[in-house]
Structure 1
Amino acid sequence: MCADVTQPDHTPETVLNMLLNAPSPAPSISEIGTVAEVGDGIAIVIGLEQALSDELLQFISGVQGIVLDLEPGRLGVVLLGPPDRVTIGESVTRTHKVVSTNVGTRLLGRVVDALGQPQDGKGAIRDQDTHPVEAEAPKILDRQAISRPLATGIKVIDAAVPVGLGQRQLIIGDRQTGKTSLAVDTILNQKNTDVICIYCAIGQRGDAVAKVIGAIREGGMMERTIVMSAGDEEAAGLAYIAPYAALTMAEFFSAQSKDVLVILDDLTHHARSYRELSLLLRRPPGREAFPGDIFYIHARLLERAGQFTKAAGGGSITVLPVVETQAENLSAYIPTNLISITDGQIYLSPRLVRKNQFPAVDLGVSVSRVGGKAQSRAFRSVAGNLRVTLSQFEELEDFARFGTRLDDATRSRLTRGAAVRAALRQAERDPMPAVEQLAVLVAAMEGQFDGLEEADLMSVMTTLRVSVRHTLGDVAKRIDDNAALCDEDRARIVELGHAARAGLGGDNGTNP
């Protein structure tokens, strides 16, 4: 016997009753604007009366933009994508969000853009959080004094212009003076530390960024480095938000009690990108055609660096912004702005480049307003007279050019100064451990390099470094523990220096 199966009632009356009694969907209201103008990296949008400043807008073509100007009846929008994809009359909607970037440990070892999207062809970056690129600078109560050194591995900097963890130290100089090389060597010197590095290239050529990536990878630091590229071929809006995104990524790690080094290379291109966008948005130009808030965009960026208390995460963010000068003009608008914002500057002089002095750090102009308090005791005990020795030498050197007869004491000071200056030379991609730096400095200040030709001096330094590396392991450990060099340590270094000079012309050991 078959079971009685009840068929559903699909009569027109029943279907109509079901439709009438079904719950109505909640009404939604969305604002839709229209593109009125499109420029090189910007768009003018009308119809979005409720949009907020810095809000992210979505264009129907897929491009996103940031509201930068709020004016009656119109919005000035900075595009984060190719402007040729945006057309006049295109629809625009609000997202009710601010622009954000990916953050997290999975970005380490990757090359990304300002939004944290991969640019290295290694696939998507999954399971990442997103944080707004703009953030409020930490309060004074969330900061503490800078007391730990950031070792750059560069003799002239660690000895005379020291940098502390949490400091903002400007790298400034003309083109082709070695600014990027200085920053990359600082990254490479973190190989034996726990410092996480972020290299942010703003407006750089693709081949230049590729060389930096190659150097970092060859130096074994790529696994603890994030490379962010906002090249000159990309949208100006991405170059504008790139340094803020780099600081956002750094804040993720500093909140986990980690030390982060951020290289911003360079803020000259960042300022020019912002000037370009501001002029296209018809903002009133000021000095050198920069808008009136150009100081503020860099001040609010660099104020996010510092050494933070345990309640604020306990980490630190050290920022080395790079800025380019023209014809050694340190009084130009953007350089003076950044000098006043940062805690000191490392000035690379074209005059020293012409003398084949690399790195071309001019100690007469370079200064560290904070790092001296974080400098290790060993460096402080050795390098105290370094600036005085070099400044006196340079003054005497200028005087000696007139061919005046010099007494023996003056000639001796000239010889010593020339040897000390030559001892500060250092090849690219060769950051030195602290004990090797101190050994070279002690030997130079004790006169063990006096009268040597350049090739011989480099040979003696190489031999000395090898000897120090093999025999002064106990001294290196004490230096790492922030102990000063004692008289016995100095005597051992001097003895190794004598041996290195005595072996000149023989087998000088393996190059470091």
Structure 2
Amino acid sequence: MNINVNQLSETISKKLNNERSKILEVGTVLTVADGVATVCGLEDVMFSEVVKFSSGALGQVQSIYYDSCSILILEDEIAVTEGDVVSRTHEILKVPVGKHLLGRVVDALGKPLDGDILDVDEKREIEVKAPGVMQRQSVHEPLQTGIKIIDALIPIGRGQRQLIIGDRQTGKTTVALDTILNQASINKSVPENERVYCIYVAIGQKESTIARLKQTLLEHDALQYTIIVSACAGDVAVKQFLAAYTGCTMGEYFRDNGMHGLIVYDDLSKHAIAYREISLLLRRPPGREAFPGDIFYIHSRLLERAAKMSRDRGSGSLTALPIVETQEKDISAYIPTNVISITDGQIFLDSSLFYQNIKPAISIGTSVSRVGSAAQRKAMKQVVGSLKLELAEFRELEAFMQFSSDLDQDTKNAIRKGQLLTTLLTQGASQPVDFVEQVMMFFATQNGFLDHVEVDEVKAIAKKMTIFLEAKHSDLLDRINTLGKIEEADSNQLKEILSGFFNIKQSNEEQKGL
């Protein structure tokens, strides 16, 4: 019998390699504690790879050592016990994406929480590289929030990252929610390719809060344009950490397909705390305020994925509104300074303004948009003028209001104008104002038509003015809205119309007085 030694050796070697690779594909759970499993045997496992336990639970590799690895248990933590077999999947965590998610509430893994079955057409990895500079274009399209003070003074553009920051219970979520409601209102009257689809990521919120938010969206017919990703306070830290990346991946679907997305992270303070908990459980060395050294990278790799894509890539956009909570207005704390340096500006909500019932309680002095008027339509730029300067001057003069009898006339006029503007810019929750109505209000203010109106009555009269214009001169308003600017002829016509409106109103009031 002839035996080919080389062939026999090659066959045995192949079988041994196959057996070895099978051994390297599985491991054994050594310990389980606080949602972290220590596993040995997975010698070729990759960082962030999804693994499967023999109980059916899924885990994600977070730390790799010489003889073991640490795995975060994503679900069914109780079912995982010491001695369980763990197998590789060779995949990074993926979540479902697509329009079929609109109107749904899902968890950090993309699984439905509202009871209905979810049809999965496409899945994407939650960890991807942010678009490079050459894949983007500058932010130039406005994202109308419906909030007068923001659209006029701190404009947000499609593809921008604008931070909402402030103390607890100052209206941060309300600002983000009103922005979502305004997108839904606009979506009903624009072509499908101009619509903005919203993703609200709730991190560490109470389930009752998420239920109320869903109900608000439903009542305003906005849920059909919104995806809610929920990682509530009762969920494990890993789900609270992953929820932000899950929501971002869902938003990227719209961005990469030539559509427009808006994502709200509520909030990144709790997101950072969840990651700190994970890092400490993994025995990584703590740094400033006990946060791990890579916390800046955690947020930067998330927020850098918001972008306005180039024309070659469909001109889609993903706008990010991260929310960060401060303690006693301290914006110099670790997480706030990190996120401020990553974003393109911040909207700072001042608790002292909130307690004065000035809502939204936005501080003009500390709020800024680095995109600025590039994200505004020309009509808005034409009418806001020196509005921000006048408001900032008023906030400086507020301290002297108690000495009103000793002030000169110019200072009194500046204070009165500031009070009038502050009142005009106040706005109730869930009451977004459309673009044309805002432009008409600021046009009347800029041209002095509201100067002699009582401060307490200015909002009501401005509202009556816009109702009058919509009823009698809708063609003029439609032309301004279509052009996005006020032509000189339109400006002169508006002045003539408003002069008549306010003269009639003034004469009626004088007759009542007599």
Output the TM-score relative to the length of structure 1: 0.89
Partners of 2:154 and 2:206 in 1: CA distance: 30
Matched, 1:128 2:132: no
1:412 is matched with: 413
Partners of 1:279 and 1:472 in 2: CA distance: 64
Partners of 2:493 and 2:312 in 1: CA distance: 40
Partners of 1:262 and 1:501 in 2: CA distance: 46
What letter matches 1:488 in structure 2? N
**CA distance change for structure 1 residues 352 and 495 in 2, over 3 Å: closer, same or farther?**
farther
Partners of 1:203 and 1:369 in 2: CA distance: 29
Residue by residue, what CA displacement relative to the aligned partner does 1:253-279 show, whole Å, maximum 9, x if unpaired? 222210111111111111110000000
Moved more, 166-175 or 77-86: 77-86
Contact 1:468 1:496 in 2 (8 A): no
Partners of 1:335 and 1:456 in 2: CA distance: 38
2:309 is matched with: 308
Over the matched positions of the two proteins, sequence identity in percent amounts to: 42
1:171 is matched with: 164
SS in 2 for 1:323: strand
Contact 2:108 2:229 in 1 (8 A): yes
SS in 2 for 1:463: helix
SS in 1 for 2:366: coil
Cα deviation, residue 363, structure 1: 0.8
2:465 is matched with: 464
2:8 is matched with: none
Contact 2:39 2:69 in 1 (8 A): yes
Residue by residue, what CA displacement relative to the aligned partner does 1:210-250 show, whole Å, maximum 9, x if unpaired? 11111111111111111111111112111111111111111
Partners of 1:464 and 1:118 in 2: CA distance: 46
Partners of 2:141 and 2:239 in 1: CA distance: 34
2:142 is matched with: 149
2:88 is matched with: 94
**CA distance change for structure 1 residues 383 and 489 in 2, over 3 Å: closer, same or farther?**
farther
SS in 1 for 2:238: helix
1:15 is matched with: none
Contact 1:160 1:387 in 2 (8 A): yes
2:273 is matched with: 272
2:29 is matched with: 35
1:14 is matched with: none
Cα deviation, residue 37, structure 1: 2.3
Moved more, 442-451 or 255-264: 442-451
**CA distance change for structure 1 residues 283 and 163 in 2, over 3 Å: closer, same or farther?**
same
**CA distance change for structure 1 residues 207 and 367 in 2, over 3 Å: closer, same or farther?**
same
Cα deviation, residue 34, structure 1: 1.9
1:477 is matched with: 479
SS in 1 for 2:406: coil
Matched, 1:111 2:112: no
Residue by residue, what CA displacement relative to the aligned partner does 1:398-456 show, whole Å, maximum 9, x if unpaired? 13335661122221221111101110001111111111112222333445445766653
Contact 1:167 1:371 in 2 (8 A): no
**CA distance change for structure 1 residues 112 and 503 in 2, over 3 Å: closer, same or farther?**
farther
1:488 is matched with: 492
Root mean square deviation of aligned Cα: 2.3
Q: Which ranges in structure 1 are unaligned for 5 or more consecutive residues?
A: 1-23, 507-512
Partners of 1:489 and 1:156 in 2: CA distance: 26
**CA distance change for structure 1 residues 167 and 196 in 2, over 3 Å: closer, same or farther?**
same
**1:55 counterpart (37, 45, 49):** 49
Matched, 1:69 2:63: yes
Partners of 1:456 and 1:293 in 2: CA distance: 52
**CA distance change for structure 1 residues 219 and 427 in 2, over 3 Å: closer, same or farther?**
same
SS in 1 for 2:22: coil
Partners of 1:128 and 1:247 in 2: CA distance: 18
Partners of 1:77 and 1:505 in 2: CA distance: 77
SS in 2 for 1:48: coil
Cα deviation, residue 379, structure 1: 1.0
**CA distance change for structure 1 residues 345 and 61 in 2, over 3 Å: closer, same or farther?**
same
Residue by residue, what CA displacement relative to the aligned partner does 1:302-340 show, whole Å, maximum 9, x if unpaired? 111111013223211111111111110000100000000
Q: Which has the higher helix share?
A: 2
Partners of 1:222 and 1:177 in 2: CA distance: 24
Partners of 2:58 and 2:153 in 1: CA distance: 47
SS in 2 for 1:162: coil
Contact 2:306 2:320 in 1 (8 A): yes
Contact 1:259 1:316 in 2 (8 A): yes
Contact 2:384 2:446 in 1 (8 A): no
Cα deviation, residue 387, structure 1: 1.0
Output the TM-score relative to the length of structure 2: 0.89
2:393 is matched with: 392
Cα deviation, residue 503, structure 1: 6.4
Contact 2:436 2:480 in 1 (8 A): no
Partners of 1:318 and 1:71 in 2: CA distance: 38
| Aligned pairs (5 A) from 1:349-388 | 349-388=350-389
**CA distance change for structure 1 residues 277 and 190 in 2, over 3 Å: closer, same or farther?**
same
What letter matches 2:66 in structure 1? P
SS in 2 for 1:200: strand
1:10 is matched with: none
Partners of 1:92 and 1:456 in 2: CA distance: 69
**1:182 counterpart (160, 175, 179):** 175
Cα deviation, residue 291, structure 1: 0.2
SS in 1 for 2:60: strand
Contact 1:150 1:165 in 2 (8 A): yes
Partners of 2:508 and 2:198 in 1: CA distance: 40
SS in 2 for 1:29: helix
Cα deviation, residue 90, structure 1: 2.0
Contact 2:96 2:120 in 1 (8 A): no
Partners of 2:417 and 2:228 in 1: CA distance: 42
Cα deviation, residue 158, structure 1: 0.3
2:131 is matched with: 138
Q: Which ranges in structure 2 are unaligned for 5 or more consecutive residues?
A: 1-14, 188-194
Cα deviation, residue 381, structure 1: 1.2
Partners of 2:227 and 2:127 in 1: CA distance: 19
Cα deviation, residue 48, structure 1: 1.2
Cα deviation, residue 498, structure 1: 5.3
What letter matches 1:42 in structure 2? V
